[in-house]
Amino acid sequence: MAKKSLIEREKKRQKLEQKYHLIRQSLKKRIRSNFSPLSLSEKTKMREKLQSLPRNSAPTRLHRRCFLTGRPRANYRDFGLSGHVLREMVYECLLPGATRSSW
């Protein structure tokens, strides 16, 4: 089980990412746009605005965590579970359609 403080930190990052998503997206779009004749100084101002946003609001700082244990590694997107929890659930036949591997 992951520490509760780490799980709460991740929840806080998710809220920040949702809060600043549209602002970040619009700034990036305006910086990248080739059609708008922005001068170099305007682009640098926009980059400064982008950098002034909170660091934890960046989507790259988010981790996908296991739904049951909170483990940040070896997560499967389809199930939202970490590898060892997924394996235990398959062995107990709790996931329909998933089969055990044997060779």
What values do phi and psi take at 75, rounded to 5?
-95, 140
Task: Assess whether 98 and 86 both reside in one domain.
Answer: yes
Which position has the token pair 């992951």?
2
- Report yes or no: 81 and 65 within 8 Å, Cβ to Cβ: no
Q: Which amino acid is at 6?
A: L
Which residues, at least 6 apart from 41, have a Cβ–Cβ distance to it below 8 Å?
none
Distance between CA atoms of residues 45 and 41, nearest Å: 6
| 3 and 23 housed in the same domain | yes
Looking at the fold, whether 52 and 90 belong to one and the same domain comes out as no
Q: Does the pLDDT at position 102 exceed 80?
A: no
Task: Give the pLDDT score at 48.
Answer: 92
Given a cut of 70, whether residue 71 has pLDDT beyond it is yes
pLDDT digits (tens, 9 = 90+) for 18-66: 999 999 999 999 888 766 666 778 888 889 999 999 999 999 998 888 9
Domain of residue 73: give its range.
Answer: 64-103
